C-alpha cells in the first residue's frame, strides 16, 4: 500500500512535468519553423525584388494578402500612368487596332506595334498609358496586340487615312518589345523608305533571323532609326550592342526598366511633333 502511494505520487508529479517539457520543446520547434519561414520569405523576396528590378518593376506587398503587385500599378500596369489624355474617339481599323486623328489632317502619323500582354492587358490597351500624354499631336494608330499581321494592318490603316483625306506630314513607325514581329513583316513588305523615322523600343532580337534583320535595318538607315533600350530587353546583347554602335541615336533607360523605355521614346516623339 505504501509503495503504491509512492508510485502514484511520482506519476502525478513527474509525468505532468515531463509533458510540460515536451510541450515546451514542441513550442520551441514551432518557433524555429516560424523563424525559418520568415527568413525564407525574406531571402526569396530579395531574389524576387532583384529579378523584378532587372525586369523594370518594383514589388510592393499588399497589406491584406501574401501576394505582390507592381508598385504604382493598381494591379493593371507595370508603371505609373503618365498624365494627359487622348480626347479624340478611338476608331477601329478592322480587328487590327484603333486610330485617333490628330489636331490636323497633316499631323504626323505614328504607327504603334506593342508587345506581349502585361498583367492581362493587351498592348492595344497599355500602350495608351504612354501615348495619352501626346494628346492630339499625332494621327495615331495603336495595334491590338503583337500577334496581328503588320502588313495587313498598315494597308487597312492607309485605306482609312485616304477615306478621311488625312495626309500626314511625316510617318513614324514605333515598335516596342514583341512589336518587332508585325513590324518586321511590315518593313519587309513596304521597306524602310515608307517611314521618315523608325523607333525601336527595347525590341526583342532573341534569334538570329530577327537580329540579322534589325541589324541590317540599322546599318542601312543610321539616321532614320532610333533605338531605346535596356541591358536585357533584346535578349541578345550582341545585337543590341551592334545597334548602339551603328545608329546615330540610341538611349539606355536610366533605371534599366523595360516598360519605361516607352516614356523615353514618347518624350522623343513629342519633340518631333
Task: Tell me the per-residue pLDDT of 225-259, one tens digit each, with 9 for 90 and over.
Answer: 999 999 999 999 999 999 999 999 999 999 999 99
Task: Please tell me which residue, 251 or 40, carries the higher pLDDT value.
Answer: 251
Domain 91-270 sits in which CATH superfamily?
Answer: Alpha/Beta hydrolase fold, catalytic domain (3.40.50.1820)
Averaged pLDDT, 170-199: 98
pLDDT of residue 273: 79
Mean pLDDT over each residue of the chain, to the nearest integer: 79
pLDDT of residue 34: 42
Averaged pLDDT, 183-191: 98
Averaged pLDDT, 165-188: 98
Task: Tell me the per-residue pLDDT of 147-158, one tens digit each, with 9 for 90 and over.
Answer: 999 999 999 999
Report residue 51 as a C-alpha cell.
529579378
Strand-pair category, 97-100 with 139-143: antiparallel
221, 227, 231, 233: CA torsion to nearest 10 = -90
Query: CA 166 to CA 102: how far, in whole Å?
Result: 10
Report residue 227 as a C-alpha cell.
533605338
Domain definitions of the chain by residue range: 2-55, 91-270
From edge to edge, which strands make up the β-sheet containing 171-176? 91-93, 97-100, 139-143, 109-113, 171-176, 197-201, 225-229, 249-252
> Which residue(s) pair with 91 in the sheet?
99
The answer to whether the CB of 169 falls within 8 A of the CB of 141 is no
Report residue 108 as a C-alpha cell.
504626323
Amino acid at each position: 500500500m505504501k509503495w503504491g502511494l509512492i508510485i502514484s505520487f511520482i506519476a502525478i508529479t513527474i509525468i505532468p512535468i515531463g509533458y510540460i517539457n515536451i510541450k515546451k520543446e514542441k513550442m520551441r520547434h514551432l518557433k524555429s519553423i516560424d523563424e525559418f519561414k520568415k527568413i525564407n520569405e525574406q531571402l526569396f523576396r530579395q531574389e524576387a525584388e532583384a529579378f523584378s528590378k532587372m525586369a523594370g518593376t518594383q514589388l510592393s506587398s499588399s497589406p491584406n494578402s501574401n501576394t505582390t503587385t507592381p508598385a504604382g500599378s493598381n494591379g493593371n500596369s507595370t508603371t505609373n500612368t503618365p498624365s494627359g489624355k487622348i480626347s479624340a474617339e478611338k476608331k477601329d481599323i478592322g480587328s487590327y487596332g484603333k486610330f485617333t486623328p490628330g489636331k490636323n489632317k497633316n499631323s504626323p502619323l505614328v504607327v504603334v506595334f506593342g508587345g506581349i500582354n502585361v498583367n492581362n492587358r493587351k498592348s492595344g490597351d497599355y500602350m495608351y498609358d504612354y501615348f495619352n500624354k501626346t494628346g492630339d499631336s499625332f494621327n495615331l494608330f495603336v495595334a491590338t496586340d503583337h500577334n496581328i499581321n503588320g502588313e495587313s494592318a498598315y494597308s487597312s490603316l492607309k485605306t482609312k487615312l485616304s477615306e478621311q483625306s488625312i495626309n500626314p506630314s511625316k510617318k513614324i513607325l514605333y515598335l516596342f518589345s514583341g512589336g518587332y514581329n508585325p513590324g518586321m513583316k511590315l518593313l519587309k513588305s513596304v521597306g524602310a523608305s515608307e517611314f521618315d523615322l523608325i523607333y525601336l523600343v527595347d525590341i526583342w532580337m532573341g534569334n538570329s533571323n530577327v537580329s540579322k534583320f534589325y541589324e541590317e535595318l540599322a546599318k542601312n538607315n543610321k539616321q532614320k532609326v532610333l533605338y531605346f533600350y535596356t541591358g536585357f530587353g533584346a535578349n541578345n546583347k550582341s545585337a543590341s550592342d551592334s545597334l548602339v554602335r551603328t545608329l546615330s541615336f540610341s538611349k539606355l533607360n536610366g533605371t534599366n526598366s523595360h516598360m519605361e523605355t516607352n516614356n523615353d521614346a514618347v518624350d522623343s516623339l513629342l519633340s518631333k511633333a
